[in-house]
């Protein structure tokens, strides 16, 4: 919970800092136009990728397969579109990384391997069966 609060505070601070720095280098009007351009291009590409993901999902359903990757991709594309709408350079970079299929697949594999490693470390026990034998012969000394 504390890390989420930290990110909610840090991201706007970083965005404002970058807007001021980049605005002082290229000018205020150019910075605003750059922000609007990345938002428009990003939303258009998010729409394109979303339709491709939807098409791929329908192909998976027609093959009687569960479109798990397509569900995850659709959610990632929706989140990326939200990041692109928010003005700022860091959120635009993260949004573009989540929209492109190559980087999205890389992110998914990293998350899955990290999650698998965590579950393997948590389940560090041996599963077995035992049988309790109460026999008088075992109690005798030979």
| Cα torsion 67, 69, 75, 77: sign | negative
The model's pLDDT over 49-70, given as tens digits with 9 standing for 90+, comes to: 999 999 999 999 999 999 888 9
> Which pLDDT band holds residue 73 (cuts at 50, 70, 90)?
very high
> Which pLDDT band holds residue 15 (cuts at 50, 70, 90)?
very high
**DSSP structure class, residue 73:** H
This model's pTM is above 0.85: no
- Asked if 54 contacts 74 with a C-beta cutoff of 8 angstroms, the reply is yes
């Amino acid at each position: 919970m504390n890390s989420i609060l930290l990110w909610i505070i840090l991201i706007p601070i970083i965005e404002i800092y970058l807007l001021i720095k980049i605005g002082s280098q290229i000018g205020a009007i150019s910075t605003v136009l750059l922000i609007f351009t990345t938002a428009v291009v990003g939303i258009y590409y998010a729409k394109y990728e979303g339709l491709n993901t939807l098409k791929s999902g329908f192909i998976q359903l027609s093959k009687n397969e569960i479109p798990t990757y397509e569900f995850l991709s659709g959610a990632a594309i929706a989140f990326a579109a939200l990041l692109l709408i928010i003005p700022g350079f860091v959120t635009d970079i993260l949004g573009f990384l989540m929209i492109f299929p190559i980087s999205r697949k890389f992110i998914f594999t990293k998350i899955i391997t990290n999650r698998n490693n965590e579950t393997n470390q948590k389940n560090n026990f041996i599963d077995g069966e035992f049988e309790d034998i109460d026999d008088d012969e075992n109690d005798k000394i030979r």
